[in-house]
A and B are shown apart, each in its own frame.
Chain A
Amino acid sequence: MLLVYLLISILAGITVVIARIINSNLAEKIGTLQGTLINYIVGLTFSFLFMFISNETFKITYTNMKVIPFWAYFGGLAGVVIIVLSNYITPRISSFYITLLIFIGQLFIGIIIDYFIIHNLSIGKLLGGLLVLIGLTYNLWIDKKAVTEGI
């Protein structure tokens, strides 16, 4: 059963890579912010499409929405902030550090969130997270060496 969720997360990672490549190709032609605009327009359209195809009923009503904590609505804004920040940082540090530091930020805050919101803290998360970080660092370092040695 848990295997399904493993596959789902892996698939999510794959979509991230695909979208990132396509977005950078688009940004080359019309600019990053402009590409992002196209992104959200297309994404919004497909969201409607998927919703009507799916079994979900349309739930965006006042009664449904007022019981939701206000901060839950800010995900879309967070996405744009991430894009703007990434744009700013990318020319300023090597992608080795960016990838590493972004992951450290994700993991650190992710573990804290899991503790406070889902009440889930284990040494396993911390140690396992550290291992993931080590593995990532090692692979990124191999890439870095390859670049500087001109392979």
Chain B
Amino acid sequence: MPANSSAQNYYAQKTRAGMRSNMNINRFLSILTGAIVSVMILFNGTLSNALGNFNSSIIIHFVGLISIIFVLLISKSKFKLHKGIPFYLYSAGAIGVFTVVLTNVSFTTLGVSLTLAIGLLGQSVFSIFIDHFGLMGMKIVKFNKKKYTGLFIIAFGILVMSIY
């Protein structure tokens, strides 16, 4: 085996131990992503309590804009303006504003964990709905009645979270 580091890296990655540590890093990063979501709700909610919801949305998006420009510059990505992009594809930004505003309102009364749990319920039900009918270009996945059980457990869990 050649004594240069890239070959050693390759073999390190491909051994069982190497792959296990890759898996662990990826799992950790997933959990970290979730943690950052909670922290983000805290930051945004605090800002909105101080400045008002729509004012703070401006600041949040402005900071985000600076950040993504920074990331694009660092990664040396190219940006090409394509013609013929359907207009609705640009709407995600507007919808995102609703997400921020709604979670801010919820955060003030419910706190982070309950907001997340109920949001998850909304996501689950709505995803099931979209998949069942194949809306928005998603492939059709018919609703499996067994999922009522999971949804019920989630709803019950939310009840427990809010009452006790």
Contacts and interface: CB of A to CB of B under 8 A. Distances in A.
A128 B161 contact: yes
B31 to A, nearest CB: 4
B46 A72 contact: yes
B63 A76 contact: yes
A contact patch SS: helix
Interface string A111-135: 1011001101011110111111111
Interface size class of B (residues with CB under 8 A): 35 or more
Interface size class of A (residues with CB under 8 A): 35 or more
B102 to A, nearest CB: 4
B82 A134 contact: no
A132 B97 contact: no
A5 interface: yes
Contacts of B77: 31, 33-34
A109 B68 contact: no
B163 to A, nearest CB: 6
B110 A5 contact: yes
B115 A131 contact: no
Interface string B81-109: 01001001111111111110111011001
Contact of A60 (B39, B59, B67, B101): B59
Given A10-B122, A97-B27, A72 B61 contact: no
Interface stretch (B1-9, B10-18, B140-148): B140-148
A136 B92 CA distance: 26
B45 to A, nearest CB: 9
Interface of A: 2, 5-6, 8-19, 21-23, 25-26, 29-31, 33-48, 50-51, 54, 56-60, 64-65, 67-69, 71-86, 88-89, 92-93, 97-98, 101-111, 113-114, 117-118, 120, 122-125, 127-139, 142-143, 146
Q: What 9 A-B pairs are tightest by C-beta distance, nearest first? A: A124-B164, A105-B34, A13-B122, A42-B93, A131-B157, A76-B63, A128-B161, A135-B153, A76-B64
